[in-house]
Amino acid sequence: MISAEDLIALVRNYNPKTNADRITAAYDYGRQMHEGQFRHSGEPYFSHPVAVAAILTEQRLDDSTIITALLHDTIEDTKASYTEVTEQFGREVAELVDGVTKLTNLQLSSRETKQAENFRKLFMAMSKDMRVILVKLADRLHNMRTIKAMRPEKQEQKARETMDIFAPLAGRMGMQWMREELEDLAFRVLNPEGRQSIIRRFITLQRETGDVIHRITGDMRLELEKAEIEAEVFGRAKKPYSIWRKMQEKDQGFSRLSDIYGFRVITGSEEDCYRALGIIHQRWRAVPGRFKDYISQPKSNGYRSIHTTVSGRDGKRVEVQIRTRQMHDVAETGVAAHWSYRDGVRSQNPFAVDPAKWIASLTEQFDSEEDHDEFLEAVKLEMYSDQVFCFTPKGDVVKLPRGATPIDYGYAIHTRIGHACVGAKVDGIRVPLWTRLKNGQSVEIITAEGQMPQVSWLEIATTGKARSAIRRALRELDRGRFIKLGQELARSAFEHVGRKATDKALDAAARNLRLKHRDELLARLGSAEITAHDVVQAVYPELVRDEGEQISPRRAVIGLQPGQSFERAPCCQPLPGERIVGITSRGKGVVVHTIDCDRLSEFEDQPARWVDLHWHSGNHPAVYSVTLELTIGNDAGVLGRICTLIGEKKANINNLVFVDRKPDFYRLMLDLELRDVEQLHSLMLMLEAESDVASVERYREKSPAHVVLG
């Protein structure tokens, strides 16, 4: 653990005017608060906040951010309070520490709908002060560097969360070095064999070809000196995970992968960037389609650089990035460059993006109260995707994520253009709407009056804006039908708890679910965007809870070890009353299957994992989900009658999805909440007796041909 004096020395390297007394006071306070606490490795816990602060000095951040790093776990893990931190270090630091604490408490790797809400909270925290996420990223980086001290299942969970959320977020913020290190540290946990394989092949390649980096770097310097261009040249091998990802994307072996080395040319001016590009293209052959000019078309996080790929006589490709020193600072620290200090003053980097504007551009297209899944989808697209730049017929630039189609382009221009799209021309040639657009193409949308969005467009569109607009338009087209279906579902669900779905009750449910009015509630219920269970719970939460006051679902299974948890297997959805068996699973306790489940064949050679179980006898609450596949006649009132019959059997419809619609029949999936297998059999017999029901089957997942274990 570095001392307070050494930490202050790191800050003084870029900010000689730092307030050493404040940093020393924060260091002493943090050490006192964490006294007696230890990490999994056995080291004093305070070594972690100090390491986080040291990482932030590499980004030349201000005193308040360094102090926040030293105190970032005090409010959460010690007796320190927000008030006390405010009194000793000021309101700015206290709010930053509180913001980091709230981010730490978000379960970002939870199920999708909750994850969407947590992403919203994450971006709200960032919008207040971006330094909160900078501290959190440094916190995650140090935890990943020291992850070996954690339990294996905890390592895997943290590594997956890092790969899915924190590494892409660092990349989207322009901190590419941090993204690469986070990805590689997570890769070391998630696929150690794959990583070692890449490293072994690198060693073999170096033996065969010698020091390629030193040779090419020297050649580039020589060519630039001849042209009297002052520049620094650096070369490096790409990280193991970056190479692994390229192998997966291109479906190539290591021996066929060419651009595994990267070089950077740092010049004194923007003019020299383009001169250097000309020199490199004269000396080495440029690879077609691998040129990107992010100087003339910068990324939204402020990133500017010229990217090109060249090949030599031996056919080996290398990637070259060319930029100025100021551009390089932004490329290394991303939006953090906004707070960077140099020689004791805030660095005035003209290429550093305003964090407030960056966050605003990220969130402006999303409503604050609805469409959580669309928010998550669009945020992930914004974070994970590179971008392509296309041109309108008039020459205006349209920025889209990689993989975008003419449908996305149309909606990027205007929602009205997207809705009326009937075709597209790319570089003057008519192309299908599913065509993937490329950098530099000119795109023209062909429109027709009266055209409306098609359901198939959801399979074609990739941007959150386009998909959201298509869904809204389709929702309006189907609104009348969905409202009628929602009325039937609501009536059945309310009758299930002994109440009526009156206008007053539905108005109350709409208010509690933050929807504008009753029809909006019914339309979303009918289109399966919300469930009948959600609607009833919004008005009568006590009635929904009362259903579970019998045998608690937590102790419904007999045969578990003390403290051992269980969950029902989604493949067979076992119900009380069925013969069951348990399979132990790391991180999930025991997974309960029906004795005839196809998936059990996967564990035949692992008898030690099998657990003999059976259900408690007695009354179980109707909380166990089961999915039925129904084929019903496409006649007026059929679905309503079926919903009524299900309600009469005291079963709750939790979700309804149409799988296939034909002129004469519908095929749909019904998610029901049932008490036991007896109730299921009774319900299925009743449905089979209905003349309008062609077939009814219990849904079961089949065993796959092979299973890839993570």
Of these residues, 58, 76, 84, 598, which one is catalytic? 76
Please list, in sequence order, all residues whose beta carbon lies within 8 angstroms of the beta carbon of residue 144, skipping any fewer than 6 positions away.
Answer: 158, 159, 162, 182, 185, 186
The closest of 33, 34, 56 to 45, measured between CA atoms, is: 34
Residue 265: phi and psi, rounded to 5, are -115, 120
Between CA 579 and CA 699 the distance in angstroms is 17
Residue 213: count of CB within 10 angstroms of its CB: 17
Q: Which amino acid appears at position 66 of this protein?
A: I
As separate numbers, helices (DSSP H) first and strands (DSSP E) second, the chain gives 30, 22
Q: Are 292 and 319 in contact (CB under 8 A)?
A: no
Please list, in sequence order, all residues whose beta carbon lies within 8 angstroms of the beta carbon of residue 460, skipping any fewer than 6 positions away.
Answer: 405, 407, 433, 434
DSSP alpha helices (H): ranges in 251-371? 270-283, 325-333, 355-363
The pairing of strands 345-346 and 589-594 is: unpaired
Residue 321, both tokens: 């990035």
Between CA 124 and CA 128 the distance in angstroms is 7
Between CA 560 and CA 566 the distance in angstroms is 8
Residue 328, both tokens: 């390089």
**76 belongs to the catalytic site:** yes
Between CA 140 and CA 182 the distance in angstroms is 8
Please list, in sequence order, all residues whose beta carbon lies within 8 angstroms of the beta carbon of residue 230, skipping any fewer than 6 positions away.
Answer: 267, 268, 272
Residue 595: count of CB within 10 angstroms of its CB: 12
Between CA 430 and CA 416 the distance in angstroms is 21
Which residues on adjacent β-strands are paired with residue 508?
none
Does residue 43 sit in helix, strand or coil? Answer: coil
**CA–CA–CA angle 691, 697, 700 (5° rounding):** 170
The closest of 563, 662, 578 to 620, measured between CA atoms, is: 578
Q: Are 694 and 668 in contact (CB under 8 A)?
A: no
Which residues on adjacent β-strands are paired with residue 670?
628, 656
Residue 341, both tokens: 């200090």
Of these residues, 43, 58, 77, 270, which one is catalytic? 77
Tokens 């009015």 belong to residue: 517
Alpha-carbon Rg for the chain in angstroms: 30
Residue 705: phi and psi, rounded to 5, are -65, -35
Please list the active-site residues. 76-77
